[in-house]
Amino acid sequence: MIARIWHGKTKVEDYEAYTQFINDTAIPDYSKTAGFVKLSFLRNIKNNEAHFTLITYWENLEVIKNFAGDDFEKAKYYPEDDDFLLEFEEKVEHFEVFA
């Protein structure tokens, strides 16, 4: 199994609205992809910014490519992210889950 980790940040005042967007749009999109296993959606406020970390779990790298495309290390964004995110990190991280 492979864990895919993405991080983003918003203004504190967008904390709840971006959480709702993730719940309504991103999570269903991940969940409908064949080979998706589960996810952990983390959030906190630090240094007057709202931070979001999304850890998704996949059967293997090939199914991640079905979701993210051939350049699977590139972060996937939605058009609505333009309304929330303070910056767009270019890459995500992948880890082999061994325990």
Residues 30-73 pLDDT 10s: 999 999 999 999 999 999 999 999 999 999 999 999 889 999 99
- Express as a percent the part of the chain with pLDDT over 90: 94
Q: Which two tokens stand for residue 44?
A: 């906190």
Would you mind telling me the total number of residues written for the chain in this entry?
99
Which residues, other chains included, contact 80 with Cβ-Cβ below 8 Å and sequence gap of 6+?
21, 25
Closest among 64, 54, 65 to 21, alpha carbons compared: 54
* Mean of all residue pLDDT scores within the chain: 96
Cα separation, 98 vs 22, in Å, equals: 27
pLDDT for residue 71: 95
SS3 71: coil
